[in-house]
Structure 1
Amino acid sequence: MASNSPAPEGIELQETPTAGAWGEWNPTEDSARPPRGKHRVVKQRGGLARSSTVLGVGVIAAVGASGIATAQDRPQVAISMPDLPDLPDFGLGGAGGHGQHAEADGPAAGAGASTKPTGIIAQQAAGHADAGATLVGRILQQAESQESAADAQTRAQAERAAQEAAATEAKAQREAAQKQAEDARLAAEQAAKEAQAAADAKAEQERIAKLAGSYSLPTSAYTLTSHYGVAGSMWSSGYHTGLDFAAPTGTPVKAVAGGKITSAGWSGAYGYRIVLELEDGTEIWYCHLSSMSVTSGSVGAGETIGRVGATGNVTGPHLHLEVRKGGSTMDPLAWLESKGLSV
């Protein structure tokens, strides 16, 4: 039987004792209560029960201090603990010997518990295994979340790139359409201008043709000798006021347009002269005539009204033709050409 004698004085309890650090002793309630100050143990006394108990407590303390990895390498030991009240915890997670008494009831109990350890070491190992599984689960969940975020970012970037590409293509198409519309507008304007120019040219041709049918050259088989505006002392005004058609005497002289003869007879330096007034008030003077066929009344374009001569102040036979409007003279050549006549 275990003795309740106190442990020897002067022996200190180490933080991490080993199985061979102590002698065999049997703690009692008084001797096992931790003293104040330094941790001290009671004196050892002989006995197998005390030795086994101390050895078991030392093993448990050593395993708890060195960690789970070291404790797992050692085989489980069946520990026999006396039913002592209010034993110190020693960091084993239980209250005194009551927590370990059921596991130390002999080989049968140890053999039955070997298949499913329920001690502190196994509980700690299981707790760490659960914590490891939880950590792995969290890591996998975080990796999955990061992968999902990366996929979402990739999709967002792809969608943004697609939108930008679509916007660029739409802009290019819009600019192309605008350019095409502008080109079409310019082409239409150019076509309209060309059509207008063609219409104007046609109208001018028609006008000239109409005028050509309404107007006639004053004579034929002629040569132009003196033009309008030529300066010289031969003319009283200091310059030539008409256009001279040199032709043989007796060459017919015709009315350039339909009108009314307002004057016919001798006119000094002009010799025999006929004045034909047109509908717009323009006067045509036929001068230096050798004879006059019509001296009054209305005449039509191309009708013969006299003949070329050399009367008045002349140097040879010719028709001196003047064009006057509002009392002022103008260039007969330009006027005849404006009526569609080729002089």
Structure 2
Amino acid sequence: MASNNPAPEALYVPNDRDAFGFGGDGGGETWDEWNPTEDSVRPVRGRHRVAKQRGGLARSSTVLGVGVIAAVGAGGIASAEGKAPVSISLPDLPASVTDHLPEVIKADIAPDSASGTETNTTPLSTAGLTTSSSGQGTTDAGETLRARILQQAEQQQAGADAEAQAAAEKAAAEKAAAEAKKKQDAAAAKEAAAKKKAAEEAAKKAEAERLAKLAASYSLPVASYTLTSHFGDAGSMWSSGYHTGLDFAAPTGTPIKAVHSGTVKSAGWSGSYGYRTVIVLDDGTELWFCHQSSLNVSAGQKVTTGDVIGRVGATGNVTGPHLHLEVRPGGGDPIDPMAWLQARGINP
């Protein structure tokens, strides 16, 4: 490294005991005032030389070193844009200080091998620049800081946009799922209603077929008639206090037919019932045909649906010719003949 002319000698140089210009013993040493002139402060060959201090740090060196460190720590806030690089000489720093400095600053304050002084030729405008920033052509620390801030802001904005987009996509997916479920539920309800309707129609059809089949095996007891009394009608004419059968009024001699196939249990006179025929069906139900004028069957005889078993009359306790029909399941108490016939497809 080329040598420089020494800087103008100061009027006062602190001794070893007073590194900062004050007497160590408080003896009150004095010095003459120094008035700098243009010649005395002119730089020598573009660089300033400061003698290395071994006994302690000079005030100027200390302040300057702290300024450099502050500038670097602030990320290059101090900028010397457009100015020529300035050489900076620093005294030796204790190891306790240099060990904690960044590598880039350690390199800048490394001792000058030729002169034994620590020289920094890096412009202040580039302090705080990283290697990647320099490789990208960035030479201003302020611009680097600004770029970093903008980059961080962009990253944060991108993160916020991504979160907003994710939330919007989630909301859209949930809405689509809800709509799909609603449509699915509606379709399921519609399908269930259709199945229910089909099942009801099928059941109705099956019942109609069953009744039609039963109707083929059941028959009304008389072909032409008028219903005059129903089951449960109250009155003093009946010993039980109410009517126990269904009355088919018809002219005397009108043929009486077997309602269903069965076996004749009895055929003859039965007091207030007049001439009566009792037919037992396969399930044990007894059918009573009462007030007949004549009988055409006898006990033990097998009959089928539609066979003539007697004639309408007015025998027993009656007020006129009619057929009194009773239905007694298992030979017990009578039930409504109308409901029993309707359940078998016959509508009197």
- Normalising by structure 2, we get a TM-score of 0.63
- What does residue 187 of structure 1 align with? 190
2:243 maps to which of 237, 240, 243: 240
CA shift, 1:253, in A, is 0.6
User: 1:97-108 alignment to 2 at 5 Å?
Assistant: none
User: 1:1-343 alignment to 2 at 5 Å?
Assistant: 37-39=30-32, 61-63=36-38, 127=86, 131=123, 133-134=125-126, 137-296=140-299, 297-326=301-330, 327-343=332-348
Q: Which runs of 4+ in 1 moved over 4 A?
A: 91-95, 128-132
Conserved 8 A contact 2:85-2:124: no
CA shift, 1:210, in A, is 0.8
Look up the SS of the partner of 2:309 in the other structure: strand
Conserved 8 A contact 1:215-1:257: yes
Look up the SS of the partner of 2:171 in the other structure: helix
AA in 2 matched with 1:133: S
AA in 1 matched with 2:211: I
* Residues in 1 aligned to 2:327 and 2:197: alpha-carbon distance in whole angstroms: 36
| Cα RMSD after superposing both structures | 3.2
Runs of 5+ unmatched residues, structure 1 = 1-13, 16-35, 41-56, 77-90, 96-123
- What does residue 27 of structure 1 align with? none
Conserved 8 A contact 1:271-1:311: yes
Distance 1:94 1:319, change over 3 A: closer
Distance 1:93 1:288, change over 3 A: closer
* Residues in 1 aligned to 2:51 and 2:230: alpha-carbon distance in whole angstroms: 146
Distance 1:312 1:37, change over 3 A: closer
* Residues in 1 aligned to 2:237 and 2:39: alpha-carbon distance in whole angstroms: 152
AA in 2 matched with 1:299: V
Look up the SS of the partner of 2:32 in the other structure: coil
Distance 1:328 1:64, change over 3 A: farther
Conserved 8 A contact 1:64-1:92: no
* Residues in 2 aligned to 1:163 and 1:278: alpha-carbon distance in whole angstroms: 79
Conserved 8 A contact 1:241-1:329: yes
AA in 2 matched with 1:63: E
**Paired positions, count:** 245
AA in 2 matched with 1:339: R
Look up the SS of the partner of 1:182 in the other structure: helix
CA shift, 1:125, in A, is 7.4
AA in 1 matched with 2:222: T
- Alpha-carbon deviations, 1:88-137, whole Å to 9, x = none? xxx99589xxxxxxxxxxxxxxxxxxxxxxxxxxxx97529974533671
Identity across matched positions, percent: 47
Higher helix share: 1
* Residues in 2 aligned to 1:125 and 1:257: alpha-carbon distance in whole angstroms: 130
Conserved 8 A contact 1:216-1:255: yes
- Alpha-carbon deviations, 1:277-321, whole Å to 9, x = none? 111111111111111122241111111111111111111111111
* Residues in 2 aligned to 1:145 and 1:331: alpha-carbon distance in whole angstroms: 100
* Residues in 1 aligned to 2:262 and 2:214: alpha-carbon distance in whole angstroms: 14
- Normalising by structure 1, we get a TM-score of 0.64
Look up the SS of the partner of 2:277 in the other structure: strand
* Residues in 1 aligned to 2:151 and 2:218: alpha-carbon distance in whole angstroms: 98
Distance 1:92 1:205, change over 3 A: closer
Q: Which deviates further from its counterpart, 139-148 or 185-194? A: 185-194
Distance 1:232 1:184, change over 3 A: same
AA in 2 matched with 1:39: D
Conserved 8 A contact 2:338-2:347: no
Q: Which has the larger radius of gyration?
A: 1
Conserved 8 A contact 2:84-2:123: no
